[in-house]
Amino acid sequence: MLRHAMQRIGLAIPVLFGVLLIGFLLMQVVPTDPATVRAGPQATAEIVAAIRTELGLDQPIWVQFGIYLGRLAQGDLGVSIINNVPVTQELGATIGPTLELMFAALLWSIPAGIFLGTIAAYWRGSLLDKFIMAISVAGVSVPVFFLGLVLIWFVGFQWQLLPFTGRGGPLWSMDGIRALILPAVTLGGVLVGPVARMTRTAVVDTLSADHVRTARAKGLAEHLVVLRHALRNALIPVVTLIGLQIGFLLGGAVVTETIFSWPGVGRLAVGAILSADFPMAQGTIIVLSAGFILINLTVDLLYAVLDPRVRQS
Amino acid sequence: MLRTWKRAALGGLAALGLAVTAQAQTQPRNQITIMREIDSDRYDPHRSTALAGGEVLTMLSDTLVSMDFDMRTIQPGLAARWDVSPDGLTYTFHLRTDVTFCDGKPFTAEDMAFSLNRWIGRTTPRVVSPVAWRAGNVKEIRATGPHTLVYELNEPFGELLSQLTLFFGSALDPAAVERLGDNFGVQGFNGTGPYCWGSWTPRNEMVLTRHPTYRWGPPSLENRGPAHVERIVWRVIPEAAARVAALQANQADVTNYIPEAFWDAIRRVPTVTISQQPNYFWDFFMGFKVDKPVVSDVAIRRAVHQAVNREGLVRAVWSGHAEVARNIVNPRAADYDAQSDAMVPAFDQAAARRTLDEAGWRMGTDGVRVKDGQRATFLLYGINTLANQRSGEIIQQALRQVGIEMRIQLFDATVAWGRLATQEFDAFFLSYPYVSATDALSLYWHSRNRPTPNRMNWANPQTDAWLEGARRAIDPAERATLAANIQRQLAQEAPWLTLARSQMLVFAGPRVTGARAHGLYGIGIYKGLDLRVR
């Protein structure tokens, strides 16, 4: 198990390095000069040159990358060009709301997806099965921004049930919970469909397995057969899918946070890119990418825990 | 037993659901939330020219003089009165004696002199304001007494008082500027305004708290102070549909950031009140680089004016909620010249074809005119906004009908300003606010302002002389005459096509009264002293 974990971690390191390199190079090819942005629209050439030296932009690219890596190793992501605040400070303030949103989205969408998938498998071929699968396809197809706007329009505006303009407060307050619901439903909405479909497929496959036939032969009720013997074994591919989808949730969070004015990393990333705040944009790219890698790594390790064949291979 | 447990669980869930969804729209009492689309880069009046910065800075601080809602009358501000020397070179401001900063420190002429000198880059460490030129050609700004400030110029500047109403001339506390250094306006602020710095979460919200001893608001406002509300929250809501819904659902109170496409629908909502500022000067235009091939020909530029139906453009792009424009200057702005309005070529496609024919531009086989082997084609740059996309398509189509090809390249706002500072293009789309005719003309048409903001590369000694004369003029009639000369010259030469004059509407939800649109430099709510929760 330890060897398997070390192998996966070893593979994650070059991926992370690649992300850092691509993130750095992307900022180099953007046709905007950070020194000009910082200097302002009417600054003289001398001022721009001085800022370029101060930022190290007059150095060759590989030197700049080396300096960048050196700073990263010390936990220094630089300072925002826009408001002089350390990038780590802004990321620290925004990572909490993003995790909060993702956790809330997962909290309802995974059980909902597994429940719907199991129901569909239990009554496979029925009208209910077809209805659930149709809902799942719709869930996969509907863009996050559309679902968000529909919820804002009906739940927030027409029925005035829930707020939709930012974080209402800490998670332990009623205002905080209320403000979290619509963004979490929006973000989780994209996860329900894939989880339900995968659960249904896996449960249906497992229901024809030998151990399930044995369970039935023992006289167990069908719902117990499904819950205790089929679902438990069917969860392995579902866990893998959930892991992959959580990574994609980070992308959905960028859109969801923008629509709902949620003060998370995704919205910070959009704001930083739109305002040409390069250090901040790089910082958010690193955090989002590292999050993606970390989630995949966790899923890999979890998969090995769940399925002994994986760690033995 | 199991059934009882299930019932209890279901009951608990239902109760939680009711609690969670109850009173979704509650806002703290005596707090007003103002929505906007983007945040400012910082709140230092000398390091940012952003409109989003100005919106908050007019609440955090005051200027020597203030602008009335008619956008012409200068009213007292921190200065109770002022004298101007006969030669127009020396302004003596007599400051109010009852003004204090948010921290309670009394405001003096020394503080005001420091603030204005910082604007023009004469303090240490030096700050370079991109709009220092708005302060005029300053000889010296000094305090001659605790409440007397002398503002000396090297040459008269008739626009000075108008310029001093803008937030760039805000009063700052020198001690706070020194203490916060580069973080002044980022991590704190100490001003004399009706509201004080509470907290700022960049790109999210700015919280202001009432300045309790404030009693020196502009005479143009009903309430001179202190403010009626305890807290103002400026909240950034990037999504337009979310802003519209939030206003109607009482989740926010005031905004002037509602796209024109929603205006008709919102007018039908009985709970939303709308205030319009008729004297609002923010124009959209298409400028030509007059020294580039094709567009250097005045016949091409005049033909563009004649080919474009600006009424149709306003209907299609601004949903009819903008004014159709002709002259460079808004008819309600000071020193506007009505005669030049009639000189701007009107929409008439037949006339456009005649203009081009007479100038020797013959129709080519591909539908694009040619003259001396050169095709009538030019490249337009702009920021990638919905208005520019639609305007570009409509104008492109209109020009094609008279034999002119317009190629369009729009850029994301992050890179557009850099590209618009180059000489790669022939024409461009932009929009801008101004205070008066002289202000608008000085910004764009003096030869020393090339290549930006004078992106037209307009270099005409006569224009320069008239502009300098208008800036120096003490006599309003003389200034108006010189401004009129420039407007007529530009109407004749057609170096830019004014597309539309946008309108300023402030929308307020049912909780709020006193949300009156002001519009100075594009600012919807000026000071916020009249805002009140019902």
Average pLDDT over every residue of B52-79:
96
CB–CB of B246 and A271 under 8 A? no
B120-126 mean pLDDT: 87
Which positions ≥6 away from B50 have C-beta within 8 Å? Answer: B40, B41
User: What is the rounded CA–CA span in Å between residue A113 and residue A106?
Assistant: 10
Q: How many residue pairs bridge chain A and chain B with CB atoms within 8 Å of each other?
A: 126
Mutation for testing the B interface, residue in A42, A158, A258 having most B CBs under 10 Å: A42
Rounded Cα–Cα distance for residues B492 and B337 (Å): 13
CB contact under 8 A, B47 and A259: no
- Determine whether the interchain pair A41/B49 forms a contact, defined as Cβ–Cβ distance below 8 Å: yes
Distance CA B443, CA B333 (A): 15
Does the pLDDT value for residue B73 go beyond 80?
yes
Using CB atoms, pick whichever of B128, B203, B237 lies closest to residue A268: B203
Confidence of residue A40 (pLDDT cuts 50, 70, 90): low
* Helix (H), strand (E) at residue B404: none
Which amino acid, one-letter code, is at A303?
Y
Q: Quick check: B453 and B465 in contact, CB under 8 A?
A: no
Instruction: Give yes or no for a contact between B381 and B286, defined as CB atoms under 8 angstroms apart.
Output: no
Which residues of chain B lie closer than 8 angstroms to A47, CB-CB? 128
Q: Is A84 on the interface with B (CB under 8 A)?
A: yes
**Nearest CA-CA distance, residue B44 and chain A, Å:** 10
User: Does the pLDDT at position A274 exceed 70?
Assistant: yes
Residue contact A160–B249, C-beta within 8 A? yes
pLDDT in tens, B420-452: 878 999 999 999 988 889 889 988 999 988 887
CA distance B374 to B60: 56
Q: Tell me, what's the pLDDT at B1?
A: 45
In this complex, is the C-beta atom of A32 within 8 Å of any C-beta atom belonging to chain B? Answer: yes
Q: Closest Cα partner for A262 from B411, B236, B398, B141?
A: B236
Handedness of CA B392, B393, B394, B395 (dihedral sign): positive
> When comparing pLDDT for B203 and B317, which is higher?
B317
Is residue B237 within 8 Å of residue B254, measured between CB atoms?
Answer: no
Burial class (CB in 10 A: 0-12, 13-18, 19+), A92: exposed
Spatial CA neighbour of B199 closest among B234, B225, B174, B173? B234
| Minimal Cβ distance to B130: which of A40, A156, A163 | A40
What ipTM was assigned to the predicted interfaces of this complex? 0.74
Other C-beta atoms closer than 10 Å to the C-beta of A24 total 19
Cβ distance of A164 and B186 shorter than 8 Å: no
Count other C-beta atoms under 10 Å from residue B476's C-beta: 11
One-letter amino acid identity for A214? T
Q: Do A178 and B21 touch (CB under 8 A)?
A: yes
The pLDDT value given to residue B2:
45
Residue A174: its chain B contacts at CB < 8 A? 19-20
Q: Contacts of residue A268 in chain B, CB cutoff 8 Å?
A: 203
Distance separating alpha carbons of residues B273 and B260, to the nearest angstrom: 16
B159/B157 Cα distance (integer angstroms): 5
Q: pLDDT grade, residue A245 (50/70/90)?
A: confident
Inform me whether the C-beta atom of residue A72 falls under 8 Å from chain B C-beta atoms.
no
CB-count exposure of residue A122 (10 Å: 0-12, 13-18, 19+): buried
Can you give the pLDDT at residue B335? 92
Distance from CA of A125 to the nearest CA of B (A): 29
Q: What is the mean pLDDT of chain B?
A: 91
In sequence order, which ranges of chain A are alpha helices (DSSP H)? Answer: 2-29, 34-39, 45-55, 61-73, 87-122, 127-141, 144-151, 174-207, 210-217, 222-224, 232-259, 265-274, 278-306, 308-312
Q: Quickly tell me which residue has 């930022």 as its tokens.
A: A55
Return residues 133-152 of A near B (CB < 8 Å). 149, 152
On whether any CB of chain B is under 8 Å from the CB of A29, the answer is no
B239, B250, B444, best to mutate vs chain A, most A CBs in 10 Å:
B239
d(CA A305, CA A295): 15
Pinpoint the alpha helices (H) of B318-403: 338-343, 349-358, 386-402
The answer, for A214 touching chain B at a CB cutoff of 8 Å, is: no
Backbone conformation region of residue B489, classed left if phi is above 0, alpha if psi is from -120 to 50, else beta: alpha
Quickly tell me which residue has 């250094």 as its tokens. B181
Residues of chain B neighbouring A164 (CB-CB closer than 8 A): 242, 245-246, 249, 251
User: Is B204 close to A258, i.e. CB distance below 8 A?
Assistant: no
Q: Is B314 exposed, middle or buried (0-12, 13-18, 19+ CB in 10 A)?
A: buried
Sequence letter at residue B452 = T
Cβ contact A42–B246 (<8 Å): no
Closest residue of chain A to B186, computed from CA coordinates: A83
Nearest CA in chain B to A153: B245
Minimal Cβ distance to B20: which of A36, A156, A174: A174
Judged by CB atoms closer than 8 Å, whether chains meet at B203 and A165 is answered as no
Please report the pLDDT score of residue A301 as a whole number: 80
Residue of B nearest to A273 (CA): B414
| Rounded Cα distance, A262 and A115, in Å | 29
Smallest Cβ distance to B415: which of A31, A163, A174?
A: A31
Distance CA A47, CA A210 (A): 76
Closest CA to B245 of A155, A147, A168, A263: A155
Residue B528 falls in which region: left (phi positive, over 0), alpha (psi -120 to 50) or beta: left
- Whether omega before B259 lies within 30 degrees of 0, making that bond cis, reads no
pLDDT grade, residue B262 (50/70/90)?
Answer: very high
Cβ of residue A82 closer than 8 Å to a chain B Cβ: yes
3-state SS class at B271? coil
Would the CB atoms of B249 and A263 count as touching at under 8 Å?
A: no
* Mean pLDDT across A204-208: 87
pLDDT above 70 (res B88): yes
On the question of pLDDT at A82 being above 80, the answer is: no
Interface of A with B in 149-208 (CB under 8 A): 149, 152-153, 156-157, 160-166, 174, 177-178, 181
Mutate to test the interface with A, among B251, B443, B449, B450 (most CBs of A within 10 A): B251
Closest in B41, B242, B452 to A165, CB measured: B242
DSSP annotation of B345: P
Put simply, the answer to whether B245 touches A83 (Cβ < 8 Å) is no
Query: Does the CB of A258 have a partner CB in chain B at under 8 Å?
Result: yes
Q: State yes or no: pLDDT of B466 exceeds 60.
A: yes
Cis peptide, bond prior to residue B226, ω within 30 of zero: yes
Q: What percent of chain A has pLDDT over 70?
A: 92
Distance from CA of A107 to the nearest CA of B (A): 15
Tens-place pLDDT, residues B374-399: 999 999 999 888 889 999 999 999 99
End-to-end CA distance of chain A: 10
Residue in B closest to A82 by C-alpha: B41
Looking at the complex, does the CB of residue A260 fall below 8 Å from at least one CB of chain B?
yes
Structural contact between residues B384 and A274, judged by C-beta atoms closer than 8 angstroms: no
* Best of A84, A165, A268 to mutate (most B CBs within 10 Å, chain B): A165
Q: Return the closest-CA partner of residue A182 out of A141, A138, A140, A152.
A: A152
Pairing of strands B31-36, B254-255: parallel
Most confident of A50-54, B20-24, B283-287: B283-287
Residue B261: closest CA among B223, B317, B205: B317
Between A80 and B219, the more confident residue is: B219
Alpha-helical regions (H) of B403-528 = 413-419, 437-445, 461-472, 476-493
H or E stretch covering B303: helix B298-307
What token pair was written down for A8?
């996966």
The answer to whether A271 faces chain B, any CB pair under 8 Å, is yes
Is the CB of residue A45 less than 8 Å away from at least one CB of chain B? Answer: no
Of residues B281 and A310, which shows the higher confidence score? B281
Q: Which residues pair with B407 in a beta bridge?
A: B379
Identify the residue with better confidence: A277 or A262. Answer: A262
Q: How far apart are CA B259 and CA B504, in angstroms?
A: 11
Q: Which pLDDT band holds residue B11 (cuts at 50, 70, 90)?
A: low
d(CA A153, nearest CA chain B) in Å: 7
Residue type, B245: A
- Cβ-nearest to B42 among A83, A178, A181: A83
Report pLDDT for A67: 86
Collapsing DSSP to helix, strand or coil, A241 comes out as: helix
Residue of B502, B501, B506, B504 whose CA lies nearest to B516: B506
Cross-chain CB nearest to A274 (options B183, B413, B419): B413
Distance from CA of B222 to the nearest CA of A (A): 31
Out of B101-105, B201-205, B235-239, pick the least confident: B201-205
Per DSSP, the residues of A35-90 read HHHHH-TT--HHHHHHHHHHHTTTS-HHHHHHHHHHHHHTT---B-TTT--BHHHH
Of A47, A80, A161, the CB nearest to B128: A47
Burial level of B28, CB count in 10 A (0-12/13-18/19+)? exposed
